[in-house]
Structures are given as C-alpha cells and as structure tokens.
Chain A
Amino acid sequence: MKSAFWKRWGLLLILVTLFPLTIVLPQSGVINPYINLVLKYVGINIILTISLNLVNGYMGEFSVGHAGFMAIGAYAASILTVWVFPREAGAFFFPLALIAGGVAAGIAGLGIAVPAFRTRGDYLAIVTLAFNMIIKSVLENMEVIGGPRGFMGMEKLTSLAWVYVCVIVTLFLARNYVFSNFGRGVLSLREDEIASGLVSVNTRQVKVLTFVFSAFLAGIAGGLFAHELQFINPRSFTILKSTDMLVMVYLGGIGSLGGSVLGATVYTLVLEGLRTVLQQFGISQEWRLVVAPLMLILLMIFRPRGIMGLREFRFLTPRDDQPEMLAEQRKRIKAASRIDEVSP
C-alpha cells in the first residue's frame, strides 16, 4: 500500500521538503545570487503567465493590458511597505502588502470587466489597451509617488522562499478554479458562447470572475516584482511587458497550468541565456528585444496552442479526475445500472 500513500501525499511531501531548501540554498551560497535572481524571475513569470492564461488561454479573450494590473499591484504593495507598515517588521507585513496589491489590481479588474464584457470580440483588447495607457499616464502624473521618475525605497523583501510560496499558492488556487464549474464554464466560452449560455452557464458572471482573479494574480506578481527590483517606474509596465506575458502563454500552451509553468520557465531561461550569448559574441543587447516579438509571431503561425495547449500535467489534475479514478467510478456505476437495464 506504499504506492497508494505516495499517490495521495507524495506531491505535498515534495513541496514541503523543497521549502526549506529555498531558504537554505541562497543563504548558504550554494546557488549564487545571479541564479537566485533568475529563479525568482522564473517564479514571478509563472504567476504572470497563469494570470494571463486565464483570460487569453482559457477564456479565449484577448487582454493587452495585464501590465496595467501588475503596475497597480506593484505600486499598492510598495506604498504599503514603504509608507504604512513599520519598517522593522517589513518582512512580517510583506504578505499583507502583496495581498493588498492583488486586491487593488482585482478591484481595477472588476472596473474594467463590467463594461468590457458587454460585447465579445476585439472589444476587450481595446478596453484593456486603453486601461494600460491610462494607468501609465496616471502614474506619470502623480508626483506624490514619484511621477515619471518612479517610486523607490522598498526593501528587498522578495526572497526565493516567498516567490516559491506564492507560486505554489497560485498553482493551488488556479488548479482548483480551473477544475471547477467556473473553470469549465470559461473553457466552454472559448468555444461557443451561445451554447454555453444554453447549458446554463452564467457567461457574464464567469467572465467577470475569471478576469478579476486574473487581475489579482497579476497584482501579486507586481508586488513581488517591485520588492525584487526595489525600484519601479511607470515605464516598467508598458505594452512590452504585456507582450512578454503573451509570449510565455502561447509558448507554454493556452488553457494549461502546466503549460504556463513550462512557458514561463523556458522563456525566462532562454532570454537569460541569450544575454550571455550576445555578450560572448559582442552583439548589442538590444537584439534581445527583437527575439520576443519574433517568437510570438512564429508561435502564432506554427504552433498557436503552444507546447501543452489545452492539456494538463497529471500532477496538476485533481485526483478524482485522473483516468484510473474515473475508470473505477465508471465500473461502479455500470454495476449498479445492470439491475434496472432499460437504457435506450
């Protein structure tokens, strides 16, 4: 019965064991600061990719403005840790600041979603684009928080351990959401909105909920990002940032959490690798920025669903939805229905 135990608790055990490592490894110097930084970026990008995947992948709508939600999360969390929470206990209040950033972004998402989902099509793309621009413009015009020069003074609170926890929690929440009525509703919208209304899905509710959840996650990622860089300015959150997210979503795979993890990891590592390669050959680093859009174009043409499109890793599927469990349940039902055999 060892295997049954492992099937049920194995994943949790691995995750718990990994946690102390995320504290010990960077502090003991086993992984150097550069690798530590790259790992943190991988984590932040995983959260961002899941966030955008909910809207672009699962729902099949098109948001161009997720960098705007990230900005709101980043600014809100930073303002809290710098101005409101006591500095001595910064690390203690950090999760609170992150959540507040996520909530602020979620509220903004609600404000956008309600008018934006009145019709389908390119409407959301335009509205989110406008939203991103407005956020950037507002931040640039608010002198209190630094205006165009940006906001600083944050402590480096984003540790690998925090990123790890946030990624795991995000995956947990998102997996449960995706494998619920809401997640299935969103997937059905993507294919046939009329039909999903006709099988009782409250399409408007599902869209708004998903969008708010997505914005919340982008806000959390923004908070982590701000406390890693310790400096943010409105230009960090332009359409270019949104494009990065798009590439990660379409690289890893639409409608897949596993794909999001994969896409974010591969993309972050490729871009970092490219940095070294370009340096080696003495080519200007500006060429790195050409890679992301080029990848996006090639992906859309040759593999529009990404590596894992609409499929899921086994460890991200709820146990009862895994093939063996379903097969067992089917067998039980069949056995029961033999008794009153009347089917058409």
Chain B
Amino acid sequence: MEFYVQQILNALQVGSVYALIALGYTMVYGILTMINFAHGDIFMVSTYLAFFTSTLILGLASGLNPIVVFIATLLTAMFGTALLAVVIERLAYKPLRTAPRISAVITALGVGLFLENFMVAFKPVGPAPRFLPHLIPAVNFNIGGVTVSTIQIVIIVVSALVMLLLDTIVRRTMVGTAMRAISWDKFTAPLMGVPVDRVISMTFALGASIAAVGGTLYGMAYTIDPYMGIRIGWWAFISAVVGGIGNIRGAMIGGFILGFVEIFTPVFLPSTYRDFVAFSLLLVLLIFRPTGILGRPMVQKV
C-alpha cells in the first residue's frame, strides 16, 4: 500500500512537469493549429537559464533567503524563456503564417534541433549533465511509510497554482478571450479588432514561461542536459495529444496520465520499455480517438 501511495506521489510530481510543458504545445496548437516541435527544447533552454541564474545569484550573495533565490531564479528563467520564444516566433514562424501549414511545423522541428545541437556545441553548456544548486533545503518527511520531500511538495503545489492561474487567464481575461477568438477564426478575428500578432506572441510567451516554471522545478529534482528537450519534450507532446491537442484542460490531464505511465511502467516491465509504452499508447489512442480525450473533432472545410 505505501508503495503505491509513494508511486502515485512520484507520478504526480513527474506528471506536473509534463503537464506544464504540454500546456505550451497545446496553446500554440489551439491558436495557430501548428505543432511547435521546438517547445521541448525551449523547455531545455529554460532549465539552463535557471541553472546559470541560480549559480550566479548564489555566487554573488550566498547568504540570501532561499525563497528569494528561488523566486528570482524562477522569474528570470520565465522572462528569458518567454523572450526566446517570442524572438523565435517573430523570426522563424511569423514569415510562414500564410505558407502551407507544414512549412511552419518543419521550421519548428529545425528550431528545436538547432537549439539542442547549439547547446551541445556551445562550450559553456556542453553535452555533460549538470545539477542545479540547491535552491530549497531538501527535507524528507516520513508519513506512514511514505517519503515526501520539500522539493516534491514545491513542484506539485507550484504547478497546480500555475495551471489554475492559466485556466483563469484563458477563461476570464481579455487576452484569453482574444486567444479563443483567434483559435476559432484566424481570419475574422482581426476584423473584430483583435490584435492578432500581439496575441499570438503573447501565447508563445505565456507557453514558454509556463515551460520555464516546469524547467526550473524539474532542474531542482533531476539532472539537466541538452538532450532532455527531446526526452521530456516528446513526452509532454504526447501528453498534449493524448489529452486532446488544443485543449488546455486536456493537456493537464494528459500530463498526469503520462506521469503515471512513466512511474508505473517499471513496476510491470523493464524500465527500457517506457518509450515503447508511451508511444504505443499514443498510437492506439490516435487510431481509436484521433481527437484525444477532450479534443473536439475538427470540422472539414470544403
């Protein structure tokens, strides 16, 4: 029993990170019907931003309150990643908005691999795995045989808050309404006075900064390396598709499903089967329910 409670907790921890990244995939898809294959690597860059910021802060002033360091790191990573995403969107995706849809998708794939290979070749980063400095004192609590760490609590709680916040933004604010308007009809929205370019940039910025939250939290718990964009990014992408790409709540649900797949696969199979299970799940789901769990069926325009 304790074993399963422990595993569920671990699954929630991993699933939170997947869900945070999946949100970025799903938001961009929702608004532009474009798979932003670079998003996983943007997440990867965010962890390095968190790494360098926290190392710098702790190197300059070691006696700071850990909470202050954590928040400063988080905000810097969010801001930096958002900036990167907007720059990518303006330079690489915007010129292709009227081109055939696959052009933008291929470009995104190129951007992702560029970021990844650039980080490998770029000396200050390099291919070796790294650890983020300890931002929050890691304390383990033992509750009835189940180990809960402060890091785990922070990850789950912060993720939940961010998701709640995003859900509110999309449902209740002007920006959210504008996003939904564009996703509904890209061509009519500007006629209604929706500033399409700005809203699209904001969507990218928002998606990227949420991924940066995921990146910072992830870096606190695991090692980071330039290839994680692929490993974690693809899983988050599956989460988004499984939940129903384009649907924000779907992305959250998908993230947790993939978290459970990751944690519970090794319980039944050798852990090297993780990718196999995740991608087979994706394939089977696509065959029987192409729109994912919460996605709405696409209407074919003739």
A–B contact via C-beta, under 8 angstroms = yes
Q: List A residues at the B interface (Cβ < 8 Å).
A: 56, 60-62, 64, 115, 118-119, 121-123, 125-127, 129-131, 133-134, 136-138, 140-141, 148, 194, 239-240, 243, 246, 250, 284, 286-287, 289-290, 292-294, 296-297, 300-301, 304
The answer on a CB contact under 8 Å between B106 and A62 is yes
Tell me whether B196 is interfacial, beta carbon within 8 Å: no
Interface window among B175-183, B254-262, B275-283:
B275-283
Once A137-B273, A137-B276 are accepted as A-B contacts, the answer to whether A243 and B113 lie under 8 Å apart by CB is yes
Whether B279 contacts A115 by the Cβ 8 Å rule is no
- Is B57 an interface residue, CB under 8 A from the partner? no
Chain B proximity of A113: nearest CB distance (Å): 13
Closest CB in chain A relative to B114 CB, distance in Å: 4
Interface contact B290-A118, CB-CB below 8 Å? yes
Partner of B121, one of A64, A194, A284: A284
Main secondary structure of the interface of A (DSSP, over half): helix
Give the CA-CA distance A286 to B227 in the complex, in Å. Answer: 14
Any A CB within 8 A of the CB of B77: no
Taken together as a complex, chains A and B put the C-alpha atoms of A127 and B96 apart, in Å, by 24
In the complex, are the beta carbons of A246 and B106 less than 8 A apart? yes
- The answer to whether B103 touches A134 (Cβ under 8 A) is no
Residues of B within 8 A of A61 (CB): 102
User: Do residues A194 and B302 form an inter-chain contact, with CB atoms below 8 A?
Assistant: yes
For window 88-110 of chain B, which residues contact chain A by CB distance below 8 Å? Answer: 92, 95-96, 99-107, 109-110
Chain B residues engaging chain A, CB cutoff 8 angstroms = 33, 35, 92, 95-96, 99-107, 109-114, 117-118, 120-121, 230, 234, 238, 241, 270, 272-273, 275-276, 279-280, 282-283, 286-287, 290, 298, 302
Contact present for A300 and B103 (CB under 8 Å): yes
Contact B113 A240 (CB under 8 A): yes
Bound: A246/B107 CA distance, A: 10
Q: Is the CB of A127 within 8 A of B283?
A: yes
Which residues of B sit under 8 angstroms from A246, Cβ to Cβ?
106, 109
What are 25 A-B interface contacts by the 8 Å CB criterion? A56-B102, A60-B100, A61-B102, A122-B33, A122-B35, A122-B101, A127-B286, A130-B286, A131-B279, A134-B280, A137-B275, A137-B276, A137-B279, A148-B272, A240-B113, A243-B113, A246-B106, A286-B117, A293-B109, A293-B110, A296-B107, A297-B92, A301-B96, A304-B100, A304-B103
Counting chain B CB atoms within 10 Å of each CB, which of A246, A297, A304 scores highest?
A297
> Could you tell me if A60 and B102 are in contact, using CB atoms closer than 8 angstroms?
yes
Given the interface contacts A62-B102, A119-B298, does A130 sit within 8 Å of B279 by beta carbon? yes
Cβ of B102 and Cβ of A133 under 8 Å apart?
no
- B110 with A297: CB separation less than 8 A: yes
Contact partner, A301, options B102, B107, B114, B286, Cβ 8 Å: B107
Chain B residues positioned under 8 Å from A301 (CB to CB): 92, 95-96, 107
With a CB–CB cut-off of 8 A, which chain A residues contact B114? 290, 293-294, 297
Given contacts A127-B286, A294-B114, contact A243 B109 (CB under 8 A): yes
Residues of A within 8 A of B279 (CB): 130-131, 133-134, 137
* Closest residue on chain A to residue B274 by CB atoms: A137
Identify B107's interface contact among A122, A133, A137, A300, CB under 8 A: A300
Closest partner residue, chain B, to A118 (CB atom): B290
**Which of B106, B230, B270, B276 is close to A239, meaning CB atoms less than 8 Å apart?**
B230
For B269, give the chain A residue with the smallest CB separation: A141
The chain A residue with its CB closest to the CB of B120 is A286
Most chain B beta-carbon neighbours within 10 Å: one of A115, A122, A141: A122
A140 touches B272 (CB 8 A): yes
**Which residues of A sit under 8 angstroms from B302, Cβ to Cβ?**
194
Closest to A120 in B: B300
Distance A133 CA – B234 CA, assembled complex (angstroms)? 10
CB distance A134 to B283 under 8 Å?
yes
Q: Is the CB of A296 within 8 A of B109?
A: yes
Checking B106, B121, B282 against A300 with a beta-carbon cut-off of 8 angstroms, the contacting residue is B106
